[in-house]
């Protein structure tokens, strides 16, 4: 048995973790460390193994092999000493729907043995104080999602696992939730987070691991991943202004693709290409995009962007 790190060591240490379901290698040799206070993102396509990995960290699933250390302890076999230190986002289907939001949280707090003001504090943290008296059934999707996060926080855990908390939220609700998550980080919580929204990961996460087929393809801060990725600039020219042939003929254009109705010109030398586009098609409505985490992600997961043609 490897030595257990001290309680003020990293929040999570995974070493060569494997988990298969029959012939499916859901987690295929993952090693990573999450520091205390870190906002750590797990990204990857559907079926990449993110939920399985989170469940292993939470102690809900047993790894086939490898070592899992969470807050200095082994989460499996089910470690009851660890549970109060972990915040696990409740699925909205697990709510006490006939209760009000406040009563739901008071019930959760009582189950955890949290203090009398825990429910009110959790409501305030996620900006739900004014909805405390609303029945869970009557809350909007965005507010239910906040309640799910409040349920994960009510007992003041050290480490919070959030699995796609902003899925199914409208853009405004998503942005509002970002602020809640930023505040949690500022308060020193460690957050392990999965999302399919790359902009979200770029905006929130200190580091992200991009998981593909149960393995880590890349692990670093979004900024460093972007800097190390493609230095390509994309110019998006509205439809009907430039033919693909004319675009390909511009010196410095490496690839031309289509996106919606427009043309996407990829270049390593955007200045002269922009000047040529200005001359041929005018610049009105032309957009310039430098690399984002999404580009790095698409590159690593092999899903490609637009339909570039050489």
Smallest CA-to-CA distance from 216 within 68, 93, 41, 58 is with 41
**Strand 39-43, strand 24-34: pairing:** unpaired
> Is 7 or 47 the residue whose CB approaches ligand ATP more closely?
47
Alpha helix ranges (H) inside 89-234? 101-112, 118-125, 141-153, 171-186, 198-204, 222-228
Query: How far apart are CB 246 and ligand ATP at their closest, in Å?
Result: 41
Q: Does 143 contact ligand ATP by CB under 6 A?
A: no
Site string for ligand ATP, 65-104 (x = CB under 6 A): ----------------------------------------
Smallest CA-to-CA distance from 123 within 93, 143, 96 is with 143
Site string for ligand ATP, 23-62 (x = CB under 6 A): -x-x-----------------x-xxxxxxx----------
Handedness of CA 81, 82, 85, 91 (dihedral sign): negative
Query: How far apart are CB 39 and ligand ATP at their closest, in Å?
Result: 19
Q: Does 250 contact ligand ATP by CB under 6 A?
A: no
> Is 48 or 256 the residue whose CB approaches ligand ATP more closely?
48
Q: Cα separation of 145 and 160, whole Å?
A: 15
Q: How many CB atoms lie within 10 A of CB 298?
A: 16
> Is 163 or 202 the residue whose CB approaches ligand ATP more closely?
163
- Half-sphere exposure for 70 (CA within 13 Å, toward CB): 31
> What is the chain's alpha carbon radius of gyration, rounded to the nearest angstrom?
23
> Is 90 or 100 the residue whose CB approaches ligand ATP more closely?
90
SS3 content of the chain, % helix, strand, coil (to 5): 35, 25, 40
> Is 145 or 270 the residue whose CB approaches ligand ATP more closely?
145
> Is 172 or 303 the residue whose CB approaches ligand ATP more closely?
303
> Is 21 or 115 the residue whose CB approaches ligand ATP more closely?
21
> Is 49 or 262 the residue whose CB approaches ligand ATP more closely?
49
Query: How far apart are CB 190 and ligand ATP at their closest, in Å?
Result: 20
Query: How far apart are CB 121 and ligand ATP at their closest, in Å?
Result: 30
Smallest CA-to-CA distance from 127 within 107, 108, 149, 111 is with 149
Smallest CA-to-CA distance from 49 within 67, 79, 71, 29 is with 29
Q: Does 233 contact ligand ATP by CB under 6 A?
A: no
Q: Cα separation of 188 and 215, whole Å?
A: 29
Q: Does 165 contact ligand ATP by CB under 6 A?
A: no
Please tell me the count of residues contacting ligand ATP according to CB under 6 A: 11
Query: How far apart are CB 149 and ligand ATP at their closest, in Å?
Result: 18
Query: How far apart are CB 44 and ligand ATP at their closest, in Å?
Result: 5
Quick one: three-class SS letters along 60-113? CCCCCEEEEEECCECCCCCCCCCHHHEEECCCHHHCCCCCEHHHHHHHHHHHHC
> Is 52 or 270 the residue whose CB approaches ligand ATP more closely?
52
Query: How far apart are CB 114 and ligand ATP at their closest, in Å?
Result: 29
Query: How far apart are CB 309 and ligand ATP at their closest, in Å?
Result: 30
* Contacting positions for ligand ATP (CB under 6 A): 21, 24, 26, 44, 46-52
């Amino acid at each position: 048995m490897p030595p257990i790190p001290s309680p003020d060591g990293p929040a999570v240490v995974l070493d060569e973790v494997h988990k298969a379901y029959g012939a499916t290698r859901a987690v295929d040799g993952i090693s990573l460390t999450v520091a205390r206070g870190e906002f750590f993102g797990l990204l990857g396509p559907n079926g990449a193994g993110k939920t399985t990995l989170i469940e292993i960290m939470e102690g809900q699933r047993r790894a086939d092999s490898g070592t899992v250390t969470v807050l200095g302890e082994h989460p499996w076999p089910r470690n009851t000493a660890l549970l109060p230190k972990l915040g696990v986002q409740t699925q909205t289907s697990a709510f006490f729907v006939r209760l009000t939001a406040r009563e739901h949280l008071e019930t959760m707090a009582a189950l955890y043995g949290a203090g009398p003001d825990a429910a009110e504090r959790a409501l305030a943290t996620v900006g739900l104080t004014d909805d405390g008296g609303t029945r869970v059934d009557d809350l909007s999707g965005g507010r239910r999602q906040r309640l799910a996060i409040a349920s994960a926080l009510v007992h003041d855990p050290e480490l919070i696992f959030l699995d796609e908390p902003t899925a199914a939220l409208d853009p405004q609700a998503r942005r509002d939730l970002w602020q809640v998550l930023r505040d949690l980080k500022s308060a020193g919580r460690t957050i392990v987070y999965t999302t399919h929204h790359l902009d979200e990961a770029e905006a929130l996460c200190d580091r992200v691991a991009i998981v593909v087929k149960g393995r880590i393809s890349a692990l670093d801060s979004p900024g460093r991943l972007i800097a190390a990725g493609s230095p390509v600039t994309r110019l998006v020219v509205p439809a009907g202004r430039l033919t693909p042939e004319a675009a390909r003929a511009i010196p410095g254009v490496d690839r031309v693709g289509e996106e919606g109705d427009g043309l996407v010109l990829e270049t390593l030398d955007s200045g002269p290409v922009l000047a040529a586009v200005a001359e041929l098609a005018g610049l009105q409505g032309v957009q310039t995009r430098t690399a984002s985490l999404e580009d790095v992600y698409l590159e690593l997961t092999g899903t490609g962007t637009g339909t570039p043609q050489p």
